[in-house]
Each structure stands twice: as structure tokens, then as C-alpha cells.
A and B are shown apart, each in its own frame.
Chain A
Amino acid sequence: MHVRHLSLVDFRSYAVAELPLAPGVTTIMGLNGQGKTNLVEALGYVATLGSHRVATDQPLVRFGASQAVIRAVVVRHDRETLIELEITPGKANRAKIARSTVSRTRDVLGTLRTVLFAPEDLALVKGDPAGRRAFLDDLLVARQPRWAGVRQDYDRILKQRNALLKQSAAALRGAGGGAGGGPRGRSSGQRHQAEPDSSQASALHTLDVWNTHLADVGSQLLYARLRLLRDLTPLLAAAYEEVSASQATTTATYRASLSEPLSAAIAAGAVPEVEQVRAGLLDAFEEHRRAEVERGVSLVGPHRDDVQLALGPLPAKGYASHGEAWSLALGLKLAAYQLLRRDLGDDPVLVLDDVFAELDTERRERLAALVSDCEQVLVTAAVGADVPDRLRARGVTYMVTLGEVTRVD
């Protein structure tokens, strides 16, 4: 698929912008702070209904305006679809597909698919585990929308369980402390001597219920992540090798917060059945109960897992050079691109935001070669010379100056 036209009204720094696009490569050049990234951010918004830079909509609307509008004409298999989005901070956004208003904005999802690589993605390699988990989960949702619901259910159950751990800390501590426990009369505020015991039993029983539900949903999520990673790893290795021409083997190891031997098997690349994962989670809850009660948070489950990326024998985080980390992050995004392309039988739109400046000449050329068969690629760069000639020769170049977009030939 590709985008034939992008137009913006009061979006970020643009009062009005019209950007005709075509298959092939579009290079967007401009000095810092002129609004290059804003253009690709708008495109990303049409695809994901979110920005890769900010969590709220307010900064997306031009200062002083109340509403931003993004219009994009998406072409897939020679069929054009016009998507219009009105972003009104503080209110529900509105969406139109082919000029008719859709009842739910999220109906727009799936019409345009993009894979965006931006400087922020360096955090996939160097940053916290949360970023890597989000990368996997977002990709799951992009492939199959139903995972959005599973993810949401998991977060809700987790919140309830954490609330329970905090609230019932006193009761659970007595229960988790093993047989004999502490002196029973300690809670002197209680009217009856027998009450601590029954509240222990009740708190344990309730915790058990939440354990079951967290394990039910958590095992599905974990299983899905493992299958995704199994599909993604060879693509990652290939993409990294092609970008970097390095002999170092890339590995992505899933670090599950489960107990041995299951987590060791998972780290070794095995994908256990959902039922096994579920049992593993339940065992791990039992094992960590004391620590969970002490700290009042859930310490086991997909929300505590990580994906360890490594180049050869060394973990990328901490050991990889800046260029290597950059290439690895790029490799992850390119692998995601390949996976979606395979699923869809169609090319997503590839967006490379400010990528080339960070790569050496050789890697630039390799990346240019790698993306040469993509249907549509959008590239932003501050310095035109950073973008390999062979890439710019495949399409048009725009220059952005103070929110004005002009074509350069």
C-alpha cells in the first residue's frame, strides 16, 4: 500500500500543508525544528491513532487552534480510500472513511499500516524492558487486533491484584508467613480473637481467584509473545546482518519471570503450550507470594518480562556501540516490517525518521539497498548529503522551511 496524498490543518507547526506522495522514496529535508518529523508523525497517527512522540493529543494541535485535521489518501491494490481525522483534545476524536463518519474512531485502524523507525527507538536496545514489551505487544495487535483486548484485560486484572496485595497486606502476611505465624492477638483493634484467622483465609482465597484469572490471560499473552518472537528472530538476524554486514549473530532471548525449568526452556527458544505456561505462572505466584505480599505488587507475569538482545556473546544493552545499538533497533523495526508484509501480502509504508545521520556511509548504502524493494518509503533528514543518492534518485524530495513544504528537483 502507499499514501497518495497527505494534508494537514492546524497540525503541530502547520497551519495548512499539502503533501502529494507517490510510491517509491520521498525524502523530506529541512533544518532542525522546521517540521519534518511532524509530517511523518501525522502519517503515523492515521495508522495507529497515536503519536510516537507524545502520549496525549494536546501537543498535536497547532498552538492557538482548537482542532487539528489530518487527511490521507491511502491506495491499496489500486483502490483509494480517504481517511479524515479530527483531533480535538479533551473531546472524542472523529474519523471519516471515504467521507462517511465511522461510529468508532478505531475502525480506522488497519486501513493504513506503517512501520516507523525514529530516533526514540534507540530505547528498544538501550532502554528499559517496558519499551521492548510494548514493541512486542504493539506488533501482536498490528498483526491481530484481538490482542488489544487481551492486553487490556491483563492490565485490568493486574491492577486489581496489586490493589488486593496492598490492601490485604496485613492479613496475607500472617498467612504467607507459614504455619504458626505471628502472635494472633497482634491486631488488638479486632473485636474477636478468631477474626485474624478468618480474614487470612478469606484474603488467601481471594488472592487465589485473582491468580487464576491473571494466569488465564497472562499465559495467553506470554504464549503469543513467544510465538511472535520465534517468527521475528530470524528476520531480525537477517535484517541486522544486511544493515551492518557484521558477522556477529543477533539473538533475542525472552526472559520470563517464571520459575525454572520453564523459564530456562523459554530462554533457550522453546515455546511451551499455553496450558504449561499457565501452570508455570500459578507455580510462580505460589513461590513468590511472600515477596509479593511484602512489596504489595505482582512480581511475576508478562508485565515483568524482558527480551534480551545480544550481539554474539554480549548483551546489546551496555556492550553495543552507539552504531551497533542503532543498527539493532533498526533491525527490529525492519524485521517487524517483513513480518507484517508477509502477513498482509502487501507492503506497509516504511518511515525512516532521521535515521541516516547516525549511520556510517557503508551502512547507509546497505540500508538504501535493503529498502529499495519497498512500495513506499518516507525518509526525513536534516542534511541531504546523509541520504544516499540512489535512494533520493528513486523519488521526490521536499524541503521543509518554517512549516512550508516545497518540492525540490
Chain B
Amino acid sequence: MYEGIVQDLIDELGRLPGIGPKSAQRIAFHLVQTDPADVARLSQILADVKDKIRFCDLCGNVAEAPRCRICGDSRRDSSAICVVEEPKDVAAVERTREFRGLYHVLGGAISPMDGIGPEDLRIRELLSRLADGGVTEVIIATDPNISGEATATYLTRTLAPLGLRVTRLASGLPVGVTWNTLMR
């Protein structure tokens, strides 16, 4: 245990995801020794993040305006929506540069063990986006794990009556990887 504010800093850092007690300690002492200007910049950004970042009214992605950059881009194809779990998944799909449509961020996946049901996800918002008929294709890109698959099944069934084209991302063996590394 360290005294007062140093320990407070370590405790706070340790609450962040992926940071254990040892990393927290290392970061804390790094900050203690760092140039005050650098620390000031970091603390300013931390404050700004909470002030400026909001979630896009339409898709739920992180944004700095009522609409995120993608929803506000008129060049995007508004007839296709890709449904993902988290904002980071938007970034992942964007990196492929293959998809030109819009996104919808659910904010998680159905997981009764964590107390997350369909009503806790932004599914109602998705349905209202689909209501005006402008969207003709929905691509479900939830994670290929137990909760992601359950969410996908739930969505597929919920959207079925709307008569849209509902597809899922393919899953399986990636092309270009040798059998040797896969067959386990």
C-alpha cells in the first residue's frame, strides 16, 4: 500500500478494463514522473470525453454530434444496415472498407447470466429505423459466440415478418490459413 493520493490513483487505474494491480502501479508511477504538461493534456482529454462524446441518435455509435460521421455521410448507402454489438465493431467493419451502408449498434448481446435481455439492447430503435421501408437489407454481424449467436437468432426472427433481406456474416475457416495451424 502507498500513501494517500498515489494509492488512490493506483486504485482508480486498476478499475479500468484489462489493467491489473501491477500495471496500475506502473502507470501511476509513470504519471508521477511525467512532465506536468503531458499529464494536464491527458486529464483534459479525460474530461472532454465525458463532455463531448455522445451516442448517435440514429445508430448508437460514438459521436460528437447528434449524428455520427457515418450516419451524416450522404454518400453512404442508406438501404443497408449492419447490426453490431459495440461501437468497436463498427470500427472493425469499417477497416475492411467493404461495407458502404449504415450501422446499428445494439450496445451488447443477449446474455441472461449478465442480466441482459432483448429489451436492454437497442432493438426497438432498430425496428423504428426499419419502419419507413427505406432499408432493404439487414446484415447481422454479432460476435460468433454463444450470446452473439443467440442475439442473431432473436433478431432474425424478430425481423422475419418485415420481409427484408436479412443476412449473417459467414463464419468458418478463413481462406489463406494453412490446415496445419487450424486442425486442432
Q: Which residue of B lies closest to A154 (CB)?
A: B146
Range class of the A interface residue count: 20 to 34
Cα–Cα distance between A164 and B111 once the two chains are bound (Å): 8
Choose from B112, B119, B157 the contact partner of A164 (Cβ within 8 Å). B112
Tell me whether A163 and B113 are in contact (CB under 8 A): yes
Question: Which of B118, B146, B157, B184 has the most chain A CB within a 10 Å cutoff?
Answer: B146
Per-residue CB proximity of A150-183 to B under 8 Å, as 1/0?
A: 0001001101110110011000000000000000
Cα–Cα distance between A328 and B119 once the two chains are bound (Å): 53
Q: Which residue of A lies closest to B145 (CB)?
A: A156
Tell me whether A160 and B153 are in contact (CB under 8 A): no
Tell me whether B146 and A202 are in contact (CB under 8 A): no
Q: Which residue of A lies closest to B151 (CB)?
A: A209
Tell me whether B118 and A160 are in contact (CB under 8 A): no
Question: With A159-B113, A167-B115 as given contacts, are A209 and B154 in contact (CB-CB < 8 Å)?
Answer: yes
What residues on A are CB-neighbors of B146 within 8 Å?
153, 156-157, 160, 213
- Min Cβ gap A81→B in Å is 18
Tell me whether B113 and A209 are in contact (CB under 8 A): no
Tell me whether A209 and B153 are in contact (CB under 8 A): yes
Tell me whether B110 and A209 are in contact (CB under 8 A): yes
Cα–Cα distance between A156 and B184 once the two chains are bound (Å): 21
Quick check: is B167 within 8 A (CB to CB) of the other chain? no
Quick check: is B21 within 8 A (CB to CB) of the other chain? no
Tell me whether B112 and A161 are in contact (CB under 8 A): yes
Q: Which residue of A lies closest to B158 (CB)?
A: A205
Question: With A205-B118, A213-B146, A213-B149 as given contacts, are A160 and B154 in contact (CB-CB < 8 Å)?
Answer: no
What residues on A are CB-neighbors of B119 within 8 Å?
199, 202
Tell me whether A205 and B112 are in contact (CB under 8 A): no
Tell me whether A145 and B149 are in contact (CB under 8 A): no
Tell me whether A209 and B112 are in contact (CB under 8 A): no
Quick check: is A111 within 8 A (CB to CB) of the other chain? no
Question: With A202-B118, A205-B118 as given contacts, are A210 and B150 in contact (CB-CB < 8 Å)?
Answer: yes
Tell me whether A160 and B157 are in contact (CB under 8 A): no
What residues on A are CB-neighbors of B111 within 8 Å?
160
- Min Cβ gap B23→A in Å is 17
Tell me whether A145 and B112 are in contact (CB under 8 A): no
Quick check: is A193 within 8 A (CB to CB) of the other chain? no
What residues on A are CB-neighbors of B149 within 8 Å?
213
Quick check: is B78 within 8 A (CB to CB) of the other chain? no
Tell me whether B154 and A205 are in contact (CB under 8 A): yes
Question: Which of A206, A209, A212 has the most chain B CB within a 10 Å cutoff?
Answer: A209
Question: With A156-B146, A160-B147 as given contacts, are A206 and B110 in contact (CB-CB < 8 Å)?
Answer: yes
Tell me whether A209 and B157 are in contact (CB under 8 A): yes
What residues on A are CB-neighbors of B20 within 8 Å?
none
What residues on B are CB-neighbors of A145 within 8 Å?
184
Tell me whether B115 and A209 are in contact (CB under 8 A): no
Quick check: is B107 within 8 A (CB to CB) of the other chain? no
- Min Cβ gap B29→A in Å is 25
What residues on A are CB-neighbors of B72 within 8 Å?
none
What residues on B are CB-neighbors of A160 within 8 Å?
111-113, 146-147, 150
Choose from B113, B117, B184 the contact partner of A206 (Cβ within 8 Å). B117
List 13 A-B residue pairs with CB atoms under 8 Å apart, sorted by A's residue number. A153-B146, A160-B147, A164-B117, A199-B119, A202-B118, A205-B157, A206-B110, A206-B154, A209-B150, A209-B153, A209-B157, A210-B112, A212-B153
Interface residues of B (CB under 8 A from A): 110-113, 115, 117-119, 146-147, 149-150, 153-154, 157-158, 184
